[in-house]
Structure 1
Amino acid sequence: MEKVAPKKTSKVDKRAKIISSFKMYILENGKAPVSVFKFCRDIKIKEAEFYAYFPNFNAIKGAVWQEIFSNTLSILRAEPVYNEYSSREKLLAFFYTWIEELKHNRSYLLAIYDTEGLPPKSLPEELRGFREDFKAYAKEVIKEGEESEEIAQRPYITDKYDEAVWLQVMFLFRFWIKDQSAGFEKTDQAIEKSVNFAFDLMGKSALDSFVDFAKFLYQSR
């Protein structure tokens, strides 16, 4: 009988195993492991294998944030109607979908951050990769909004729009992690109100219209 060669574990599988094992450890213990050596022994991998993918436990936390973001975009872009959305609708859809993905990880996130959420000022190291990924996405959405004139172009301010939208990410996460309403309905309301408020500010306001009209009157003298 011909021998069947054992299946080799792919790099993707091994990385995914480390991430899922780390999340399970936190769910079972309420805190991160203190020793890479012991963690590797528990999940039956060599320590060198761990370091081939992650330099420390914070890097795994970062990978979880980026994975949630990546899953969110995959879900959105799989919907043909998403490409027809306005910039405002795209950002609303992103936040609603992102919160749904966060729900799958709520117990894990609560174990790390509890109901206090994230620090009010300093950005945790594990969020830096997610922040870069999100801001790249936000710039795309904002650029589309500028091209359609849904978003006003303002000197010195337009380049900061992506940072303003990132602050919404942090606000909504902190709101959701504390939300005790049924089905997190208050978070849904917070998404709608905060995104609409942001686009009202980024859009062409009454002040912009007044400035344009004043310029017209001045140039028409």
Structure 2
Amino acid sequence: MATTESIQNAYIDFVLTEGMQPKSVYIFAKQNEMTEAEFYQFFGSFEAVEQSIWADFARKTLTEIRAQEVWAGYTAREKALSFFYGFFELLKGSRSFAVYSINTHPKGFTTPKVFEQLKAIYENFADEILKEGIETTELNDRKFFGKRYKDALWIQFIFVLNFWINDNSTGFEKTDEAIEKGVNVTFDLFQRSPIDNLFEYGKFLVQNGGIKDKMGF
């Protein structure tokens, strides 16, 4: 009997063996001893199968890291790092599929359709930890840029994903380094900085008589 997981596994096996998607759902279903109707009970297309595989990588990662005893005590930065490390550790077991999937989808300025479900899950997670970080004052809630923090985290995620695809280092240790440096730099930008203090000081002077008045001009 067909299941979501059995169709995903059969699809991965096919594309890695043949180097391409099946020519039709009919052929794919027949090869895997199911009917077309059974396939369509779970997925509307092969693209939907591939989307679900990437989405499941994110879901499994979140399930694993949230089950850790230390999770509740993590800062937003630590939760982001935990997701990155967990996701790419999980992805090691499906590297051949990841390379195939990424290399067969056009790259551009918009998110490839294959990542749409993954992105939605990731952004919900990012929203959650960013709100926690702002509430605990770990992160600075900037008026115009605070809402763009999750976009910065998504860009960081895609950067690391592409870095990992091309990483030939032993145990992908360079990817681990890229995660550590990239996530930390990104969160450093989210935190309060001297520029924020300068901006606040300037706003204070304007609201209380202006810079010129305070300097006696």
Deviations 1:111-141 (A, max 9, x none): 2334x98614232212111111110110001
Cα 1:125–1:164 shift into 2, 3 Å? same
Give percent identity, aligned residues only: 35
Aligned pairs (5 A) from 1:107-186:
107-114=96-103, 119-186=107-174
| Consecutive unaligned residues in structure 2, runs of 5 or more | none
Query: Normalising to structure 2: TM-score of the pair?
Result: 0.90
Partner of 1:5: none
Does residue 212 in structure 1 map to residue 200 in structure 2? yes
Displacement of 1:30? 2.0
- The residue aligned with 2:52 is 63
Q: Does 1:96 align with 2:85?
A: yes
Check the 8 A contact 1:117/1:177 in 2, yes or no.
Answer: no
Match of 1:189 among 174, 177, 188: 177
Distance in 2, matches of 1:134 and 1:112, equals 18
1:15 equivalenced with 2:4 (yes/no): yes
Taking the aligned partners of 2:177 and 2:70, their CA distance within structure 1 comes to 23
Contact 1:150 1:203 in 2 (8 A): yes
User: Among residues 73, 88, 102, which one is paired with 1:84 in the alignment?
Assistant: 73
Counterpart Cα distance in 1 of 2:45 and 2:113 = 11
CA contact (8 A) 2:105 2:112 kept: no
Q: Please say if residues 80 and 183 of structure 2, whose CA atoms lie closer than 8 Å, have aligned partners that are also in contact.
A: yes
Asked if 2 retains the 8 angstrom alpha-carbon contact of 1:118 and 1:174, the reply is no
SS at match of 1:150: coil
Quick check: 2:58–2:87 contact (8 Å CA) kept in 1?
yes
Separation in structure 2 between the aligned mates of residue 89 and residue 15 of structure 1, nearest angstrom: 32
**Higher deviation after alignment, 207-216 or 138-147:** 207-216
AA of the residue aligned to 2:137: E
CA-CA distance at 1:215 after TM superposition? 4.5
Paired AA for residue 109 in structure 1: A
AA of the residue aligned to 2:70: V
Q: Describe the SS at the equivalent of 1:156.
A: coil
Q: Residues 140-186 of structure 1: CA distance to partner in whole angstroms, max 9, x if unpaired?
A: 01000101111111112111111111111111100000001111111
Q: CA deviation at 1:200?
A: 1.1
Paired residues in the alignment total 209
Deviations 1:8-31 (A, max 9, x none): x5xxx6111111110111122222
Instruction: Supply the RMSD in Å over aligned alpha carbons.
Output: 1.9
Distance 1:140 1:59 in 2: 26
- Structure 2 CA distance, aligned partners of 1:179 and 1:139? 29
The superposition leaves residues 93-114 of structure 1 with CA deviations (integer Å, 9 ceiling, x where unpaired) of 1100111111111011122334
